[in-house]
Amino acid sequence: MIKINNISLETEDLNTYKEKGYVITSKIFEDSEIEKLKKSFLRIFDNDYDRDIYPFDRVYNHGIDNKLLLKLNNGWWVNDEIRSVILSPKIGEIMAFYMETPEVRIWHDQVVLKKSGGKNNTGNDGNIGWHQDYAHWQVSSSTNMATMWIALQDTFLENGGMRTIVGSHKWGLQNDADTFHEKDLKSLENKFKDNHKWIDEPCIIKAGHASVHHCLSFHGSGPNKTNQDRMGLIIHCMPKGTFYRGRINPKNKIKLGSKGNRHANVPLLGPNARKGDLFLGDNFPVIWPFSNETEKKYNIKLDKKI
Ligand SMILES: O=C(O)CCC(=O)C(=O)O
Ligand SMILES: [Fe+2]
């Protein structure tokens, strides 16, 4: 089990989140816990899993020859320490505060490791394109979803830390903004800037702290030019009542590339999934408010307030 600090939730921070579209939290994980999580990351990318289940998504490299970005969705399925973080009511309470909702469920997590590239790394391979998360999640009914990005080391521009476009969550959903996998930040900036103010601000996060960003906030990240890998544990959350919107363009054929209109979470609703179904059940755990059932159901010990 990973121990999680009790942090105080201040109105001032909520106001920052609402105004800028993101906020940096105080220290949630002590260094000892961060070290454990780093080991979990390395084990995951070594295909060393704690459970009989195997990953929801494959471990893959972005691009054809790219070994700079390693990513796995739903690390909580396969790694017990990550499971104890993702399901923790302490995380749930923080996310409930920012989404201003009485209930928080997990959409999915992401285990992301951006390899050290060294100071000569100016290439795009480790980049994550400017995108809006909700553009990838249009099957969901809620644009009030939010993400916690937990830094496992000091994270800043130089090691390819995440950057957000301040205030962009107020622009609404932009066309074709499901561009996480694109690499050319400059051309994406030109595509999305339009008449908006493009205020590119790095999320400077100390190890053990996290950022929380709104699902309509534009964000992306550049090359890691340090000699250390950059690791981030990412928790995407839904507020109370989030449901499946059904096929976005029911008349269109669903193709593998139909990105925002097609999401791997939908098959998790089962073969009878219908428009209006809540993203609920074992695949979408309720992490706030805490229920005594959770530890038994997911066979894990959680750090919780007593
Ligand atoms: O890790 C990054 O640089 C970006 C991650 C991201 O897109 C997210 O947390 O939603
Ligand atoms: Fe994102």
Q: In the chain, what are the domain boundaries?
A: 11-293
Closest CA to 206 of 139, 154, 245: 154
Q: What is the CB neighbour count within 10 angstroms for residue 301?
A: 10
Share of the chain above pLDDT 70, in %: 94
Return mean pLDDT, the chain: 92
Q: Which of the 8 DSSP states describes residue 279?
A: S
Q: Rounded to whole angstroms, how far apart are CA atoms 114 and 79? A: 19
The pLDDT of residue 62 is above 50: no
Atom nearest to 221 CA in ligand 1: 3
Residue 34's pLDDT is what? 98
Task: Output DSSP code: residue 20.
Answer: H
Only one residue has tokens 């949630």, namely 28
The least confident of 185-194, 204-213, 243-252 is 243-252
Ligand 2 centroid to 218 CA: how many Å?
8
Say how many Å lie between the CA of residue 183 and the centre of ligand 2. 13
Number of DSSP helices (H) and strands (E) in the chain, helices first = 7, 12
Q: What is the pLDDT of residues 286-301, one digit of tens each?
A: 999 999 999 999 999 9
pLDDT (tens digit, 9 = 90+) per residue, 197-207? 999 999 999 99
Of the candidates 128, 277, 286, the one whose C-alpha atom is nearest the C-alpha of residue 213 is 128
Ligand nearest to the CA of residue 133, numbered in listed order: 2
Q: What is the pLDDT of residue 123?
A: 77
pLDDT at 124: 86
Around ligand 1, the residues with Cβ closer than 6 Å are 112, 128, 133, 147, 149, 162, 180, 219, 221, 232, 234
User: What's the pLDDT score for residue 262?
Assistant: 83
Least confident of 18-27, 108-117, 118-127, 149-158: 118-127
Res 69 pLDDT > 60? yes
Percentage above 90 pLDDT, the chain: 81
Q: Look at residue 59 and tell me whether its pLDDT is greater than 70.
A: no
Does the structure show a pLDDT above 70 at 58?
A: no
Q: Which residues have a Cβ under 8 Å from the Cβ of 300 and sit 6 or more positions away?
A: 1, 80, 83, 84, 87
Query: How many whole angstroms from 306 Cα to the centroid of ligand 2?
Result: 33
Model pLDDT, residue 277: 98
Tell me the three-class secondary structure of 223-239, residue by residue. CECCCCCEEEEEEEEEE
Which residue has tokens 């010990």?
301
- What six digits make up the tokens of 112? 């992301």
Is the Cβ–Cβ distance between 204 and 80 less than 8 Å?
Answer: no
User: pLDDT band at residue 256, thresholds of 50, 70 and 90?
Assistant: low
Write out the DSSP string of 160-197: T-EEEETTGGGS-PPTT---TT---HHHHHHHHHTTS-
11-293 CATH choice from 3.30.420.10, 2.60.120.620, 3.40.640.10, 2.60.40.1180:
2.60.120.620
Q: What is the CA radius of gyration of the chain?
A: 18
**pLDDT per residue as tens digits for the range 98-132:** 999 999 999 999 999 999 977 777 778 899 999 99
The band of 305, judged by pLDDT with boundaries at 50, 70 and 90, is: confident
Residue identifier of the C-alpha nearest atom 1 of ligand 1: 162
Higher pLDDT, 194 or 279: 279
Task: pLDDT band for 221, please (50, 70, 90 cuts).
Answer: very high
Higher pLDDT among residues 38 and 250, named by residue: 38
Tokens linked to 204 = 């400077």
pLDDT higher than threshold 80 for residue 226:
yes
Rounded to whole angstroms, the Cα distance separating 207 from 27 reads: 8
Which amino acid would we find at residue 177?
Answer: A
Tokens for 200, please give them.
Answer: 């590119």
Q: How far apart are CA 70 and CA 190, in angstroms?
A: 27
pLDDT category of residue 66 using cuts at 50, 70 and 90: low
How confident is residue 258, by pLDDT bands cut at 50, 70 and 90?
low
CA–CA separation, 42 and 55 (whole Å)? 15
pLDDT digits (tens, 9 = 90+) for 36-46: 999 999 999 99
